[in-house]
Chain A
Amino acid sequence: MTTAAPSLKLRALARGAQAYSTLFAASAAAPYLSRSTPVRMTGFDLDLTVASTSVEVDDVVSFELRNPDGSDLPAWVPGAHLDVFLPSGAQRQYSLCGDPRDLTSYRIAVRRIDADMGGGGGSLALHTDVAAGDTIRVRGPRNAFTFIDVESYLFIAGGIGITPILPMVREAARRGARWKMVYVGRSLATMPFLDELQALEGGELELRPDDEFGVPDVADLLGRAEAGAAIYVCGPPQLIDAARVLQPTLNPTGSLHSERFSAPPVVGGHAFDVHLARTGVTVKVAADESALAAIRREVPGVRYSCQQGFCGSCKHAVLEGAVEHRDHKLRAEERAESMLICVSRAAGDELTLDL
């Protein structure tokens, strides 16, 4: 094994590596020894035509999307979603709720959430500004809620959370798996796709509107799963959080599957300046954006990943200024000299990073 000075063997290894890179990278023969044939892919962003819209229940509209030339769309499995680019430039994610076997069209369903109910305007824009014949840009499909093949399922959907679950139940029924489904919502009149669910065969469908049964007890709902079942939950965050806490003890051989979400918005931040010492620029970070988002405008290749302060990919050394650490990753000694720029901010008005 090596000591402070590398051993003979290691130095020989390093020389071998140098000889290798000289031959295959630096020599005149190198381009002939490895002729590059890059494989480029396209079609993650798609411009699709709204073929039709349909009012499912009072405040839920579904949109049928097709390729303008009628060709097949990329295949998907239940649980997949699309990013929809709104006219404002904002992006919203909607689950595909149509039939994965039909590649000629996608269907998404959108519940209208008004601004006074905490809506971000995405659903409103789709309800009021998008009609049949329009073209919308989407990205995907992408799957963060993978449907696995098992013998027994419990599906729990709350309200508009039915959208990813509907194709899952349909697929489970098609495979002849054992399935149970509990669908909760405010009232039957607010719960879309009841007719499509009721048409499915082979499983147990339980409709459980709050106005008839009261607010559901999550442990009670989970208790309907067979031992070892895959449990798929989609609905309000409280429902998913409760299910995640309760499931391991209730059904230790089963598995709970819920959709994984991306970075939450910045809250309680104030604006500050970041000096990038090596790049030689100063970036203004707004109160409602992360330091990472601001730095990326100047340094597009800056390293990052989870954007939630736990993976550690965006750790950078702090040369000057106090940091308000918002991650839960760095050890105390790391915090003394570095920060995760995806969540952490300046404690004062400015920071200098070794970047």
Chain B
Amino acid sequence: MARQSSRKPPRAYRSEALAINARDVSFDWTGVPTAYIPGHPYATHFWNVMHLVLPEGERAMADVLGRALTQIDDPRLAEELQGFIGQEETHASSHESFRIHLEDNGFDIPKVTRLMEFLMDQVFGDHGLKGRAGEAWFHERLGLYAAAEHFTATVGEWLLDNEEFDRIGVDPMMLDLLRWHGAEEMEHRNVAFDVYQHVDGSYARRVRTAFLASGGLLALWIYTSSWMYAQDPAVTRHPWTWPIEFVKDTRKGLMPGLQFIFREIPQYLRPGFHPSQMGPIDKAVRYLAVSPAARA
């Protein structure tokens, strides 16, 4: 019997849908310093990882989730997913625009894009699996992206709550990119999870992919940020000083710390978990109403 999925009867929606739509944003990086968190090169490179890995990462995710559309017969989830895809595409292209700016300023970006292409193709790609195995691997990847989206939504909220960035004078265009992105992550926080639940919903798979996604994201972040730190000509200290900087900048409130992962995994793994239980998204709605890029 284990081969068959246990299909529960459909449940009726008890509350309204939030309309999810891409926003027509634009960012102009002319004159924006690559050291946009002044005096904190490691924190700068930590956030640079978003610009470096998300263009390929978010497009691959939108692609995989988009394949679920033909399996979704619920018009609400289908339209939420449709909006989600557009938001992810604008995130990818906006981060990509800053990545081009980094490349123009001497960073070896092709190395990173080759790494991302390899990861998306060889590690997160379809592995040439077909039929039942291909479908199961597709479900596994949906699980990975659902877990990753839980982290992006919580990091998004962290970005909106952060006051230290304003205090130390992070470049306003960059701060707007980070917070606009964070706000939209909060706005669409349920979509990848609901798609996963609709298509698969296995709890064992949710547990497994939560650990794998958080470990993988952490490794990718640490690896890429320390590599950027090592190749930054403005950093005069030894490349291996990055762990010290990591701790210092985290304490200063410029990055979420490691305890973040230990707090969020148990949340995500509560059996009755749904992203809508993570509290109101008023701060995201308000930020999106004032974001210079989203308002333009």
Which residues does A use to contact B, with CB under 8 Å?
Answer: 1-4, 6, 10, 13-14, 17-18, 21, 24-26, 30-45, 74-77, 80, 139-144, 146, 148-150, 230, 244, 248, 255-257, 260, 262, 300-301, 303-306, 308, 310-313, 328-329
Q: Which of A18, A150, A305, A328 contacts B127 (CB 8 A)?
A: A18
Beta-carbon contacts under 8 Å, B1-48 to A: 2-3, 5-19, 21-22, 24
What's the Cα separation between A300 and B73 when bound, in Å?
Answer: 12
CB neighbours (8 Å) of A149 from chain B are 280, 282
* A38 B129 Cβ-Cβ under 8 A: no
- Nearest-neighbour CB distance to chain B for A103, whole angstroms, equals 10
**Alpha-carbon gap, A2 to B110, bound state (A):** 10
Select A40's contact among B14, B17, B136, B198, beta carbons within 8 Å.
Answer: B198
Inter-chain contact A31/B2, CB cutoff 8 Å: yes
13 contacts between A and B (CB under 8 A): A2-B118, A24-B208, A26-B136, A34-B140, A35-B5, A39-B8, A42-B12, A43-B13, A77-B16, A142-B18, A303-B63, A305-B83, A305-B86
Q: Are A311 and B286 in contact (CB under 8 A)?
A: no
Q: A4 contacts which chain B residues (CB < 8 A)?
A: 114
Q: Separation in Å of the B56 CB from the closest CB of chain A?
A: 13
CA distance A310 to B82 in the complex (A): 14
Q: Check if B290 is an interface residue, CB within 8 A of chain A.
A: yes
Query: Given the complex of chains A and B, what is the CA–CA distance between A35 and B203 in angstroms?
Result: 8
Chain B residues with Cβ under 8 A from A143's Cβ? 16-19
Contacting pair B205 A34 (CB below 8 A): yes
> In the complex, what residues of A have CB within 8 A of residue B149's CB?
none
B127: chain A residues at CB < 8 Å are 17-18, 21, 25
* Chain A, Cβ-Cβ closest to B274: A39
Q: B12 contacts A41, CB within 8 Å?
A: yes
Given contacts A304-B82, A313-B89, contact A39 B16 (CB under 8 A): no
Chain B residue nearest to A36 in the complex (CB)? B5
B251 at interface, CB cutoff 8 A: no
Contact B7 A142 (CB under 8 A): no
Given contacts A36-B200, A75-B15, A310-B22, contact A2 B86 (CB under 8 A): no
Distance A280 CA – B133 CA, assembled complex (angstroms): 28
Chain B residues close to A by CB (< 8 Å): 2-3, 5-19, 21-22, 24, 62-63, 66-67, 69-70, 74-77, 82-83, 85-87, 89-90, 93, 111-112, 114-115, 118-119, 122-124, 127, 129, 133-134, 136-137, 139-140, 194, 197-205, 208, 227, 280-282, 285-286, 289-290, 295
Chain B contact residues: helix, strand, loop or mixed: helix
CB distance from B152 to the nearest CB of A (A): 18
Q: In chain B, what residue has the closest Cβ to A14?
A: B122
Question: Complex: how many Å from CA A242 to CA B234?
Answer: 46
Contact yes or no, A306 B86, CB < 8 A? yes
Q: Taking A39-B198, A248-B295, A303-B66 as contacts, is the C-beta distance between A1 and B227 under 8 angstroms?
A: yes
**CB nearest neighbor in A for B139:** A36
In the assembled complex, the Cα of A25 lies from the Cα of B14 at a distance in Å of 34
Contact B3–A74 (Cβ < 8 Å): no
- The DSSP consensus for interface residues of chain A is loop
Residues of chain B contacted by A42 (CB below 8 angstroms): 10-13, 74
Q: Among B74, B89, B123, B129, point to the contact of A41 (Cβ < 8 A).
A: B74
Nearest Cβ on chain A to B201's Cβ, whole angstroms:
5
A255 touches B2 (CB 8 A): no
**Distance (Å) between the CB of A9 and the closest chain B CB?**
10
Is there contact, CB below 8 Å, between B2 and A35? yes
Instruction: From the candidates B17, B203, B205, B286, name the one contacting A44 in the complex (CB within 8 A).
Output: B17
- Residue among A6, A24, A45 making CB contact with B140, cutoff 8 Å: A24
Q: How far is the CA of A300 from the CA of B45 in the complex (A)?
A: 41
> A38 and B17 in contact (CB under 8 A), knowing A25-B133, A313-B85?
no
Q: How far is the CA of A230 from the CA of B206 in the complex (A)?
A: 39
Please, how many angstroms separate the alpha-carbon atoms of A27 and B2 in the complex? 14
| Contact indicator A44/B75 (Cβ below 8 Å) | yes
- Alpha-carbon distance A37/B75, docked complex (angstroms): 20
CB distance from B205 to the nearest CB of A (A): 4
The residue from B14, B199, B201, B282 contacting A148, defined by CB atoms under 8 A apart: B282
- B111 and A2: CB pair below 8 A? yes
Pairwise interchain contact A142-B93, C-beta atoms closer than 8 A: no
Question: Within the complex, which residue of B115, B124, B202 is in contact with A37, where a contact is CB–CB below 8 Å?
Answer: B202
Let me know if A34 and B208 touch, CB within 8 A: yes
A146 touches B285 (CB 8 A): yes
Complex-state Cα separation, A40 to B200, whole angstroms: 10
CB contact between B75 and one of A45, A75, A303 (< 8 Å): that residue: A45
| Interface contact A37-B5, CB-CB below 8 Å | yes
For B89, the chain A residues whose CB sits under 8 A away are 305, 311-313
Additional A-B contact list (14), CB under 8 Å, known A14-B118, A37-B5, A305-B83: A10-B122, A13-B123, A25-B129, A25-B134, A32-B2, A34-B200, A36-B5, A38-B198, A41-B74, A42-B11, A44-B75, A44-B76, A303-B85, A311-B22
A residues less than 8 Å from B197 (CB atoms): 38-39
Instruction: List, in ascending order, chain A residues with CB within 8 A of B3's CB.
Output: 31-32
With A41-B12, A244-B295, A313-B62 in contact, is A35–B202 under 8 Å at CB?
Answer: yes
List A contacts of B16 (CB < 8 A). Answer: 74-77, 80, 140-143
Centre residue among A43, A244, A255, A306 by max chain B CB count within 10 A:
A306
